[in-house]
């Protein structure tokens, strides 16, 4: 079948993307779903920094590639051996397919699936191979097993979670990445305790979800930091008790004055080394610093090693919020429907597939919490 999709042929385009147009809208051939796969009519896909990092080349991927991973839609066809899903089901895609057989999967850590990581690195499906190709028969790679900036996508059942049909697609899509990554980092990875003090550095979609997660966990202080003060009002609306400009020269001293000695838990969600440096320095003795960011692989973070032992510090990485998608996405959706996770506040705007380059300009400038492409199919 045919599908319109946003294709990236080359990384490293210059901004503004509205002029350089790194993503081109093309009509591609999409094969039918194979065993353990489904065909999804994509309804909404969020713009995420993980997509942007491929566009700007800080996270290299094989080209050409159809981007988009924070996607939601309706199943319109099922492949062989698919038993847990039916035509008409609404699903959210997750960007780490889990095989269920490797050691991390058996240990209950599907976010670290070795098979899924390998297929994502090569731009293939976890079942092997590709389902997209150009009309000239050129292979198109799949971003993170989803390739969600498309009218239709073939996705592994290892990459989807069934969701309630009464939530609009543009809202439920956000649960596939921003929600589970931000809230999961707080709840699953760091295990923030009630009464703890928390700081979040970077107020994009993931950082704002981390603030909601900290409020959900019962943190007594939730400090929001970013270089863009336009984000502070939304952060406070979602639960932040104080806001600081993280680029201020005396930011570390200011936070340590506000919370004597520093915070119990600091979360770096910006994906840049300066943010991680601030996060570590404002973490108190005995505290935990957690990073969800994905900076350029060549960038390195340095800190005084003696502080790890002498101050009993902990540094953690959190990928996909250490989530088990089948468990956590339905749980977070239930909290959303109860009014305890105001995810609606994160949706800055919706846009068409044809306006996707302009959308990534807005994301790169830090002007939006979450932008979502809605499909006219």
Phi and psi torsions of 112, nearest 5°: -105, 20
Residue range 40-90, pLDDT digits in tens:
999 999 999 999 999 999 999 999 999 999 999 999 999 999 999 999 999
Spatial separation of the C-alpha atoms in residues 151 and 375, rounded to whole Å: 6
How large is the C-alpha radius of gyration of the chain? Answer: 20
CB 324 within 8 A of CB 108: yes
CA–CA gap between residue 201 and residue 207 (Å, rounded): 7
pLDDT in the model for residue 78 = 98
- The encoded tokens of residue 36 equal 């353990």
Residues of each domain in the chain carrying CATH 3.40.50.720: 181-318
Where exactly does CATH 3.90.180.10 map onto the chain? 2-176+342-374
Class (C level, CATH) for 2-176+342-374 = alpha beta
pLDDT, position 377: 67
Query: In angstroms, how far is the first alpha carbon of the chain from the final one?
Result: 14
User: Could you give the dihedral angle defined by the CA atoms of residues 239, 208, 231 and 220, in that order, rounded to the nearest 10 degrees?
Assistant: 30
pLDDT tens digits, 116-173? 999 999 999 999 999 999 988 789 999 999 999 999 999 999 999 999 999 999 999 9
Query: What are the two backbone dihedrals, phi and then psi, of residue 13, each rounded to the nearest 5 degrees?
Result: -65, 150
Evaluate whether 357 touches 23 at the Cβ level (below 8 Å). Answer: yes
> Residue-wise pLDDT tens for the chain (377 aa)?
999 999 999 999 999 999 999 999 999 999 999 999 999 999 999 999 999 999 999 999 999 999 999 999 999 999 999 999 999 999 999 998 999 999 999 999 999 999 999 999 999 999 999 999 998 878 999 999 999 999 999 999 999 999 999 999 999 999 999 999 999 999 999 999 999 999 999 999 999 999 999 999 999 999 999 999 999 999 999 999 999 999 999 999 999 999 999 999 999 999 999 999 999 999 999 999 999 999 888 999 999 999 999 999 999 999 999 999 999 999 999 999 999 999 999 999 999 999 999 999 999 998 889 999 999 76
CATH code, 181-318: 3.40.50.720
Distance between CA 310 and CA 8 in Å, rounded?
48
């Amino acid at each position: 079948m045919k599908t319109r999709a946003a294709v990236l042929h080359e990384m490293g385009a210059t901004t503004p993307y509205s002029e350089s147009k790194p993503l081109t809208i093309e009509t591609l051939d999409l094969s039918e779903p194979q065993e353990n796969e489904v065909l999804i009519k994509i309804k909404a896909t969020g713009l995420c920094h993980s997509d942007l990092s491929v566009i700007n080349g800080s996270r290299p991927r094989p080209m050409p590639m159809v981007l988009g991973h924070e996607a939601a839609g309706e199943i319109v066809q099922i492949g062989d051996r698919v038993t847990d899903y039916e035509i008409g089901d609404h699903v959210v895609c997750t960007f780490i397919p889990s095989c269920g057989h490797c050691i991390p999967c058996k240990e209950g850590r599907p976010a670290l699936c070795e098979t899924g990581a390998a297929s994502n690195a090569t731009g293939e499906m976890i079942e092997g191979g590709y389902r997209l190709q150009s009309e000239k028969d050129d292979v198109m790679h799949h971003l993170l097993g989803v390739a969600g900036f498309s009218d239709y996508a073939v996705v592994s059942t290892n990459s989807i979670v069934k969701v309630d049909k009464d939530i609009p697609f543009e809202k439920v899509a956000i649960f596939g990445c921003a929600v589970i990554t931000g809230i999961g980092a707080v709840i699953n990875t760091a295990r923030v305790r009630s009464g703890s003090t928390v700081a979040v550095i970077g107020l994009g979609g993931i950082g704002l979800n981390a603030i909601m997660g900290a409020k959900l966990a019962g943190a007594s202080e939730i400090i929001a930091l970013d270089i863009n003060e336009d984000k502070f009002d939304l952060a406070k609306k979602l639960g932040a008790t104080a806001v600081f400009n993280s680029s201020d020269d005396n930011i570390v001293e200011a936070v340590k004055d506000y919370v004597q000695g520093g915070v119990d838990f600091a979360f770096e969600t910006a994906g840049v080394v300066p943010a991680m440096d601030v996060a570590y320095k404002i973490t108190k003795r005995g505290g935990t610093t957690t990073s969800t960011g994905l900076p350029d692989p060549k960038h390195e973070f340095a800190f005084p090693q003696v502080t790890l032992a002498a101050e009993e510090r902990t540094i953690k990485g959190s990928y996909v919020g250490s989530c088990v998608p089948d468990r956590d996405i339905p749980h977070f959706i239930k909290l959303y429907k109860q009014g305890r996770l105001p995810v609606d506040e994160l949706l800055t705007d919706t846009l068409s597939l044809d306006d996707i380059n302009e959308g990534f300009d807005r994301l790169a400038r830090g002007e939006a919490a979450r932008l979502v492409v809605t499909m006219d199919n």
